[in-house]
């Protein structure tokens, strides 16, 4: 059993960071206001003044601040990414979350004391890959993609000195992290290089007599009937006509909720649980952080008898995308 | 105690909605733009809003029968008198607008639940949402709105030479 399972909460701005700290996060992950992170949405994220305030607020209360620099720089914008690493180090963040090996090499050379985490965007799903990043760049933690079963996560944990962080809650996608081309195919903008999947400029919602329509760059990707729950405007969660049938041809909008797996995650030695959602508001961060703090504390006290309460599940279901919450790949009997 | 109160779920009854539809929309629009202009440069930073200059907005408070039309320019927000197509329309019920302002509800949650609709230029909507979310306010606390508390704050304010 891991001594301390860290709760890693999202913050798209200073109020979200403060509420995460106030409600029991051990770490808050953030991003700068540009394409250096994978939630580069208009008006979101931290400018220099707010990240400095956020770091001060968190550190005074014993909470760590992580900065995601988890997009892939290209040769013509490389300096913007290295400047972001320099800035994060100068501001005294507790770790940077990187996906690009070139940037890891830069960070290791220029800021040897800066702690490096491997982003989920790095898409390392086995211990050999994680150990490679550890040996070459000294990464100290890896965030696992949401594609592994519990047995596979355990196998990774057992075979690496690197701390393992897993996703515990939040939106799911097709999970081809770091390599997904669906957004770029439709909008010209990808989460991998520009930091945005389905950027706002490409999204249009319209209430029509047939229901609410979602268009991505003019292409109708979904239509929601009266009272039907909506999802994010991404191509992977659209409904398409295939052989005269219209349905979720790639995947149905759903949220990951692993609350009931907490004792198992602790037993196998996972170091941290990540909550998805830097694009969400402070209200979401408050609601989700509270529930997960309570759950982790309760599980640590008595893992044998841990069972998620109905109130926790109701609170998490309320803020979920899609009609269902799933255990994702963790609960997969096959390998 | 008051801090833990959650806003109850309510919808303004349909007859009042129909009445609201027939009332002049200018007074509530004026109230809204005046409030926004007062907050501008103080609570709401001007710089991120540059993208909104010249844009037309409509806020539809569905159950109150209110349609508030206004625009944003160099000199702040002002009401609009014509009903031409806005750049961004945000629609929700009274209860949900209040819950959003009080940071009790997350807009994405309301969107998934089909209680918040954003039509037109989604990027403008994201800018508005994220700018409001980034404002570092003390948490909305109904206890601060009791008559005693308001009087106390008014006295304190009058006693301070700089009403900044």
Q: For A121-146, what is each residue's pLDDT tens digit?
A: 999 999 999 999 999 999 999 999 98
Q: What is the pLDDT of residue A322?
A: 74
Q: Which of B109, B125, B126 sits opposite A318 (nearest CB)?
A: B109
Q: Is the pLDDT of residue B1 over 50?
A: no
Question: Is the Cβ of B117 closer than 8 Å to some Cβ of chain A?
Answer: yes
Over residues A137-163, the mean pLDDT reads 96
Phi-psi region at A217: left, alpha or beta (left = phi > 0; alpha = psi -120 to 50) = left
Contact by Cβ (8 Å): B57, B13:
no
- Of B156 and B116, more confident: B116
- Measure in Å the smallest separation between the Cα of B53 and chain A Cα atoms: 15
Contact by Cβ (8 Å): A325, A256:
yes
Question: Is the Cβ of B114 closer than 8 Å to some Cβ of chain A?
Answer: yes
Over residues B75-94, the mean pLDDT reads 94
Q: Give the three-class secondary structure for A311.
A: helix
Q: Give the pLDDT band (50/70/90) at residue A2.
A: very low
Domain boundaries, chain B: 2-137
Over residues A80-95, the mean pLDDT reads 98
- Of A253 and A32, more confident: A32
Over residues A249-275, the mean pLDDT reads 93
Report H helices in chain A: 14-22, 48-60, 78-91, 101-110, 127-137, 150-158, 182-187, 262-267, 282-301, 310-318
**Beta-strand pair A95-98/A141-143:** unpaired
DSSP structure string for A105-123: HHHHHH-TTS-EEE-GGG-
Q: Is the pLDDT of residue A235 over 80?
A: yes
Q: Is the pLDDT of residue B22 over 90?
A: no
Cα–Cα distances in angstroms (integers) from residue A126 to residues A132, A142, A147, A148, in the given order: 10, 11, 11, 9
Q: CB–CB of A44 and B128 under 8 A?
A: no
- Measure in Å the smallest separation between the Cα of A171 and chain B Cα atoms: 11
Over residues A169-194, the mean pLDDT reads 91
Domain with CATH 3.20.20.70 in chain A: 6-172+254-331
Domain A6-172+254-331 -> CATH class: alpha beta
Q: Both tokens of residue A205?
A: 């919602």
Q: Is the pLDDT of residue B64 over 60?
A: yes
The Cα–Cα gap between A331 and A13 comes to 33
CATH topology of domain B2-137: Nonspecific Lipid-transfer Protein; Chain A (3.30.1050)
Q: If contacts are CB pairs under 8 Å, which of residues 38-57 in chain B contact chain A? A: 48, 51
- Measure in Å the smallest separation between the Cα of A14 and chain B Cα atoms: 6
Contact by Cβ (8 Å): A12, A26:
no
Q: Which residues of A touch B129 (CB under 8 A)?
A: 43, 281
Q: CB–CB of B103 and A16 under 8 A?
A: no
ipTM: 0.91
Size of interface A-B (CB pairs under 8 A): 104
């Amino acid at each position: 059993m891991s001594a301390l399972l860290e709760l890693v909460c999202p913050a798209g701005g200073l109020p979200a960071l403060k509420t995460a700290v106030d409600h029991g996060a051990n770490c808050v992950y953030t991003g700068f206001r540009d394409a250096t992170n994978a939630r580069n949405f208009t008006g979101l994220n931290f400018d220099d003044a707010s990240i400095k305030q956020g770091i001060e607020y968190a550190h005074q209360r014993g909470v760590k601040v992580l900065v995601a620099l988890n997009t892939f720089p290209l040769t013509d914008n490389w300096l913007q990414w290295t400047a972001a690493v320099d800035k994060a180090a100068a501001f005294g963040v507790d770790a940077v979350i990187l996906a690009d090996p070139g940037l890891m090499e830069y960070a290791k050379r220029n800021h040897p004391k800066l702690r490096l985490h491997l982003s989920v965007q790095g898409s390392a799903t086995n211990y050999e890959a994680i150990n490679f990043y550890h040996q070459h760049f000294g990464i100290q933690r890896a965030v696992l993609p949401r594609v592994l079963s519990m047995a596979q996560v355990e196998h990774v944990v057992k075979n690496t000195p690197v701390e393992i962080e897993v996703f515990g809650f939040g939106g799911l996608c097709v999970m081809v992290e770091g390599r997904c081309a669906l957004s770029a195919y439709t909008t010209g903008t990808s989460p991998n290089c520009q930091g945005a999947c389905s950027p706002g400029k490409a999204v249009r919602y319209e209430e029509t007599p047939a229901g609410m329509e979602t268009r991505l760059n003019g292409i109708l990707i979904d239509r929601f009937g009266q009272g039907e729950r909506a999802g994010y405007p991404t191509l992977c969660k659209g409904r398409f006509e295939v052989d005269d049938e219209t349905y979720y041809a790639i995947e149905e909008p759903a949220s990951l909720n692993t609350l009931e797996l907490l004792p198992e995650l602790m037993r196998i030695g996972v170091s941290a649980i990540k909550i998805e959602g830097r694009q969400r508001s402070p209200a979401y961060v408050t609601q989700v952080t509270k529930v997960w703090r309570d759950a982790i504390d309760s599980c640590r006290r008595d893992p044998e008898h841990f069972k998620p309460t109905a109130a926790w599940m109701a609170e998490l279901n309320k803020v979920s995308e899609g009609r269902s919450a799933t255990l994702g790949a963790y609960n997969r009997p096959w390998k | 105690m008051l801090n833990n109160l959650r806003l109850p779920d309510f919808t303004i009854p349909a007859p009042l909605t129909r009445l609201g539809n027939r009332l002049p929309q200018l007074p509530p629009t004026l109230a809204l733009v005046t409030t926004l202009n007062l907050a501008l440069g103080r609570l709401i930073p001007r710089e991120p809003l540059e993208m909104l200059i010249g844009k037309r907005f409509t806020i539809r408070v569905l159950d109150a029968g209110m349609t508030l039309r206004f625009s944003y320019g160099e000199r702040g927000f002002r009401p609009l008198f014509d009903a031409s197509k806005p750049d961004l329309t945000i629609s929700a019920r009274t209860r949900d607008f209040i819950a959003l302002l009080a940071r009790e509800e997350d807009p994405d949650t309301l969107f998934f639940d089909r209680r918040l609709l954003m039509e037109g230029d989604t990027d403008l909507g994201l800018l508005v949402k994220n700018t409001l979310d980034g404002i570092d306010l003390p948490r909305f606390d109904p206890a601060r709105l009791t008559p005693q508390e308001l009087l106390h704050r008014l006295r304190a304010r009058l006693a301070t030479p700089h009403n900044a």
